Every structure is written in structure tokens, then in C-alpha cells.
Amino acid sequence: MTTTQNASETTAPATTEWHWVMTVQTAKGVLNTRTATLTAPNDYTRAQLWSYIFDQFKADYDGPLTVLFFDLQPNRL
């Protein structure tokens, strides 16, 4: 007896949803914490996702930023 599997049952999803939290501080002492989810292709690295998230903060603030906290986890239990 042979069994067949649907191709969608055997292949992994091409993307992963991530939950992230980042806190930054400006040179003037302004603190900002954000949290959100993002969906990225599975071949993205942690460094690429960090840069993408950090770029969102840089777009809102002039001058240097210091990252005080960063967490990135798959958005599942």
C-alpha cells in the first residue's frame, strides 16, 4: 500500500512571523520603546531584521541612537 502526501503538508512555510521589542535612547536622553510583529522570509538573518527595525527608529530621530534593549522571537508559543 502506498500513501501520498499533499505537497503543502511537507514543505515549510517560506516566511516566519516575528515579535520584536526595541528600546533606544537619543543623545539628548529621549527614550523610545516599540514592539510589533513582522513577517520575513526564512532566509533573513537576525542581523538583517535588527537593521530593518533599527532603521525605523533612525528615520524618526536625528543624531546617534543607542540601543538599550532588543528582543526578537518567533511569534508563537
Asked whether residue 13 carries a pLDDT value surpassing 60, the answer given is yes
Residue 20 has pLDDT above 90, yes or no: yes
Would you list the DSSP string of the chain?
Answer: ------HHHHSPPSEEEEEEEEEEEETT--EEEEEEEEEEETT--HHHHHHHHHHHHHTT-SS-EEEEEEEEEES--
Q: What is the pTM of this model?
A: 0.80
Over the stretch 44-72, which tens digit does the pLDDT of each residue have? 999 999 999 999 999 999 889 999 999 99
